[in-house]
Each structure stands twice: as structure tokens, then as C-alpha cells.
Amino acid sequence: MKLYRRDEIEAAVGIDAEALRQVEQGFAALGRGEAVQPPILSMAMEEFNSEVDVKTAHIRGWPHYAIKVSSGAFDNPKRGLPSLSGLMMLFSAETGRVEAVLFDEGYLTLVRTALAGAIAAKHLSRQESRRVAVLGAGEQARHQVEALRLVRNVDTLDVWARRREAAEAYAGTMRGQGFEVTVHDSVHAACARADIIVTTTPSRQPLLHARDLPEGVHVTAMGSDSPDKRELDESVLTRADAVVCDTRAQSEHNGELKVFANAGREPPFAVHELGRVIERGERLRNAEAAITLCDLTGTGVQDTAIASFALAQLAGHRA
């Protein structure tokens, strides 16, 4: 068994086109029905504003599967600590033996989540999209935009966060990466001219409403990944011309579709899954003014895909 630490993993794996292809292949396999993906094991520790998730998946024909333990402690930024941590364990699908432990402290989760956002935008946003509204100012807010650059010529950001100082700090960081950035005092102002909106918060109350959506926008919502989180008002879902999720079952339990599932209602629109959109080459944007939405809750397939990619890269680095 090999043990790899975060510094080695970061040196070998980045937010790049190769990693994006690997995660996209994982989604496509899920869309073809070639993945075994059990429900997420989740546990919340409310008194500490923290949580832990365990995710896994086997992709038919792939030699390894990953089991990922991901922790989130949302008061950590006040302590000067990152909000995410965790590790991934890679097992041989044939023998069941542990072949590697990737002690990535949540880094690979950040990477594969950002890449999923880029994959959603690749298949759903307008090709000429350049302006992104970012709701939230944490690590994922940075990585989502970095990944978007792989698929769209993004150059302008509009930012809103609950804490103005966090938004200003984020703006300074992103200006250093060559973006034109404006900080806004309201969600509506931040989204007014957006080609793409990305929601990256742990909010428990809807932040984004239909009135905030300009024509032709694509929305990637990735903050709602547990039963008590919610970023989108129901009006956003019913306004969208195409609604996509990574998996419907997860979205109904942890993601934005739970507004319907919890009330025992069927959504008044078709629900598509990202893997099937990729595999079938579905073109859901049928007009320039169409509004598209992708709800990402995070899948075990993504974890097996990025962990397998990381192991291959790390083995190459050590060779």
C-alpha cells in the first residue's frame, strides 16, 4: 500500500484538461449504467457546524474503486483553517486490497467538484459565455472559475458573498489571476449581466430567485449537498428551460430537487442527469435565450474517477 500526502498530490494533479476528461468519462459511464454507486453516508455534528460524508462507486471495467471520506467544518475559516478535509482510499476492484491512500485533505474533492462545474457549463452554457456571477467567496468559488476557463473564455466576474470583506478578498485574489472583478451588495446586482451563475455557499435558505436570472444564463448550483442546505428558490427551477442534476436521487435528498421531494410533489418539468446528457450528446440549450440549470451534489463516480487519475499521475511522478 502506498501513502501519498497533499503536497505530492497537488504537484501531480491540477485543474486541467486531462483531469476534466477523466471526470467526464466517469459521468458518461454513470449515464450508460456502467457504475455501481451506493447512497451517500452522511453525518452532521450540528453543535460544531460540521459534517462528514462517505462516498464510493465502482465503474465497470476500471481496476480501482475509491472510498472517499470528506469532512466539512464551516467555522474553520474563522480559525484560519480550510473548511474541507478528508482522504481517499483506493482499492483493487478484483482483489479488494487497499493499494493506495491519498491523504489529500479535501484537495481532490475541490478539484473534482470544480471540474464537474466546468463539465456542466461545457454542455449547457452558451459557447460565447464570458461573464460569471459567483455567489460565495470560499475555496470552491475560486476553483469553479479556474475550471470554467478550461471550457469557456471567462474574463469577467461579479461577486456577492454574505460578508463583504470576504468578497473583497476574493476579488483581490481573482484580479491577480487576470479577471475583471466587481463586488456587489446584492445577489440580484451580481447576476444582472451574467452568462453563467455559480452558487458556492453552504446556505440553508434560498439565495437565488427567478427574478435574478437574465435571459440565456446557465446556473451551476453546487452548494446544496445535504438535506438541510438550499441555495435556489423553487422559482429558479420552474423558470429554467432545462434542469440537469448529477443524479436525481441525490438531488431529491441532498440537492435542490428536495423542495419537491419533501413535499411529495413531482417536479413540473423534465429532470435530466448529467451523465446521460454527456453520453447521449443531448443538446438541451434550444435557444440563445434559454435558461439552463445544473444541480451538483457530488457523486462517488467523480471520486473514483479523480482518485484513479491521481494514482496514475502519482505513479508516473515516482517512476
Catalytic residues: 68
- What gap in Å lies between CA 228 and CA 82, rounded to an integer? 21
Helix axes 164-175, 139-148, angle to 10 degrees: 40
Q: Are 240 and 233 in contact (CB under 8 A)?
A: no
